């Protein structure tokens, strides 16, 4: 059976840089607070009303296609991971297909909604398609335009300062080369705390978990109910919320566990890892994970300092930069791992 290799990788980040000091114009925060708690120095924001999650994905894809040496019409399947889609529906997969001008082949397009672990989930899905011989060229992207959905008031600072925009893409192909390809992927979830890191409006929940009143649902409405209430707008309930400390505590337990799961499954130890590319949630989380696995600085790649948390895009952006800097080379043992909203988490172990 063939294994799945990353044949080409590309990333795109928008031009506009917002430093921590820039954010102090909109909210009560400081460079010191943000850097001390998260390691973040700056993030990128897409040009609103021009760039979208899909257009950024298209830019990353063009680079990945070129590096893989294939034409867009050779893509047989699109897998698109994002939590900040252009539309509520349809998903970004078909929008990317159109943006790339893939009009003749009528390939499948699948959208993945697993937030920070979306890229790992997408990689796992693609891996199954490739190993079984169903497809030979899969495009997997993670792209996020968080800036459109963040609350830039002081009330939103606990979430807003963490996130940035960007995209990363890979072309996945089968390989029968010795010492190349994905060894295994490991996916997990626990919905117990689903609302603790979430953007729940607009949605069909109707206040089921957190109460009808909180959202201002009227007692009597049309048979379908009210999708967006005035209270949601007035109370800024159309932005993400997060219980930061719960997320932090859970992340630092789950990351090492799922990385170890991948190592044990394939008979490796943490010292065998050439590069760990963790989802860029918080530099403190990455440092904690590094310490608990006993990894050296040169075994872990971090770029959250420059981009903030780009959710589904963070692993492919970081992996692409590590590759471009020569820190991930042919034959290297690379571990990818993510944790985020859901909670969902996962890992992938591969030979580059
Ligand atoms: C978000 C996070 C950095 C907050 O750090 P923390 O030490 O837990 O801080 P707290 O939320 O307890 O807030 C401490 C204080 O700082 C304030 N604060 C929150 N955000 C702030 C900001 N951007 N600037 C300044 N002050 C801020 C709070 O209001 C609070 O003030 P108070 O003590 O007067 O009430 C941290 O919890 C974290 O990184 N969690 C994980 C987040 C994550 O990774 N999410 C994505 C997962 S994929």
303-336 confidence digits (pLDDT tens)? 999 999 999 999 999 999 999 999 999 999 999 9
Q: What is the per-residue pLDDT for 226?
A: 85
Q: What is the per-residue pLDDT for 338?
A: 98
Question: What is the rounded distance in angstroms from the CA atom of residue 118 to the CA atom of residue 121?
Answer: 5
Q: What is the per-residue pLDDT for 62?
A: 98
Q: What is the per-residue pLDDT for 143?
A: 98
User: What percent of the residues of the chain are helix, what percent strand, and what percent coil, each to the nearest 5?
Assistant: 40, 25, 35
- Ligand 1, closest atom to CA 279? 48
222 pLDDT higher than 90: no
Q: What is the per-residue pLDDT for 183?
A: 98
Residue bearing the CA closest to ligand 1, atom 38: 244
Q: Which of 341, 81, 85, 315 is nearest to 199 (CA)?
A: 341
- Label residue 297 by pLDDT band (50, 70, 90): very high
Beta partners for residue 163, in sequence order: 309
Q: What is the per-residue pLDDT for 327?
A: 98
210 pLDDT higher than 90: no
Q: Which residues are part of the catalytic machinery?
A: 116, 279, 309
Residue bearing the CA closest to ligand 1, atom 1: 244
CATH class of domain segment(s) 3-175 = alpha beta
Counts for the chain of helices (H) and strands (E), in that order: 12, 13
User: In the chain, where are the structural domains located?
Assistant: 3-175, 181-194+242-351
Q: What is the per-residue pLDDT for 120?
A: 98
28 pLDDT higher than 90: yes
Q: What is the per-residue pLDDT for 223?
A: 80
221 pLDDT higher than 80: no
Question: What is the rounded distance in angstroms from the CA atom of residue 199 to the CA atom of residue 113?
Answer: 12
Q: What is the per-residue pLDDT for 278?
A: 98
Q: Average pLDDT over the chain, rounded to whole?
A: 96
Question: What is the rounded distance in angstroms from the CA atom of residue 115 to the CA atom of residue 196?
Answer: 13
Q: What is the per-residue pLDDT for 317?
A: 98
199 pLDDT higher than 80: yes
Q: Which CATH architecture has domain 181-194+242-351?
A: 3-Layer(aba) Sandwich (3.40)
70 pLDDT higher than 80: yes
If you ran DSSP here, which 8-state letter would residue 274 be given?
Answer: S
- DSSP H or E segment with residue 292: helix 283-293
Q: Under the phi-then-psi rule, with left for phi > 0, alpha for psi from -120 to 50, and beta for the rest, what region is 350? A: beta
- Ligand 1, closest atom to CA 311? 48
97 pLDDT higher than 90: yes
Q: How far is the CA of 283 from the centre of ligand 1 (A)?
A: 14
Question: Does residue 291 contact residue 325 with C-beta atoms inside 8 Å?
Answer: no
List residues near ligand 1 (CB under 6 A): 29, 33-34, 37-38, 116, 157-158, 161-162, 242, 244-245, 247-248, 281-282, 285, 309, 340
As a whole number, mean pLDDT of residues 216-228 equals 82
* Of the listed ranges 36-45, 52-61, 121-130, 214-223, the one predicted with least confidence: 214-223
As a whole number, mean pLDDT of residues 1-8 equals 96
Q: How far is the CA of 177 from the centre of ligand 1 (A)?
A: 46
Percentage of the residues of the chain whose pLDDT score is greater than 90: 93
Q: What is the per-residue pLDDT for 104?
A: 86
Do 3-175 and 181-194+242-351 share a fold? yes
Question: Does residue 139 contact residue 77 with C-beta atoms inside 8 Å?
Answer: yes
Query: For residue 139, what are the CA distances in angstroms to 2, 14, 107, 228?
Result: 18, 21, 11, 34
262 pLDDT higher than 90: yes
Q: How far is the CA of 158 from the centre of ligand 1 (A)?
A: 5
Q: What is the per-residue pLDDT for 103?
A: 86
Q: What is the per-residue pLDDT for 342?
A: 96
Q: What is the per-residue pLDDT for 347?
A: 98
Q: How far is the CA of 103 from the centre of ligand 1 (A)?
A: 46
163 pLDDT higher than 90: yes
220 pLDDT higher than 80: no
């Amino acid at each position: 059976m063939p294994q799945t290799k990353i044949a080409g990788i590309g990333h795109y980040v928008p031009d506009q840089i917002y430093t921590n000091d820039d954010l102090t114009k909109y909210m009560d925060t400081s460079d010191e607070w943000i850097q001390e708690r998260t390691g973040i120095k700056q993030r990128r924001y897409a040009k609103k009303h021009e760039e979208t999650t899909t257009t950024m994905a298209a830019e990353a894809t063009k680079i990945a296609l070129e590096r893989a040496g294939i034409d867009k019409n050779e893509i047989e399947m699109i897998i698109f991971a994002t939590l900040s889609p252009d539309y509520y529906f349809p998903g970004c997969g078909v929008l990317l297909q159109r943006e790339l001008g893939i009009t003749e082949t009528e390939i499948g397009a699948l959208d993945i909604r697993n937030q920070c672990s979306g890229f790992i989930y997408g990689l796992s899905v693609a891996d199954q398609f490739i190993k079984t011989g169903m497809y030979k060229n899969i495009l997997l992207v993670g792209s996020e335009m968080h800036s459109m959905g963040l609350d830039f008031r002081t009330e939103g600072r606990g979430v807003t300062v963490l996130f940035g925009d960007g995209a990363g893409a890979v072309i996945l192909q089968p390989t029968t080369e010795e010492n190349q390809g994905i060894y295994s992927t490991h996916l997990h979830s626990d919905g117990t705390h689903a609302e603790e890191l979430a953007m729940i409006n607009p949605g069909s929940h109707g206040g089921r978990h957190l109460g009808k009143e909180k959202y201002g649902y009227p007692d009597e409405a049309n048979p379908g109910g009210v999708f967006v209430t005035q209270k949601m707008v007035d109370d800024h309930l159309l932005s993400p919320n997060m219980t930061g400390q719960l997320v932090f505590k859970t992340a630092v337990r789950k990351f090492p566990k799922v990385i170890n799961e991948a190592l044990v499954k394939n008979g490796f130890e943490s010292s065998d890892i050439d590069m760990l590319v963790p989802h860029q949630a918080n530099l403190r989380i990455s440092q904690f994970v590094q310490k608990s696995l006993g990894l050296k600085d040169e075994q872990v790649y971090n770029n959250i300092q420059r981009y903030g948390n780009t959710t589904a895009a963070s692993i492919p952006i970081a992996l692409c930069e590590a590759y471009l800097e020569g820190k991930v080379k042919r034959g290297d043992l690379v571990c990818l791992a993510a944790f985020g909203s859901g909670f969902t988490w996962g890992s992938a172990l591969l030979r580059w």
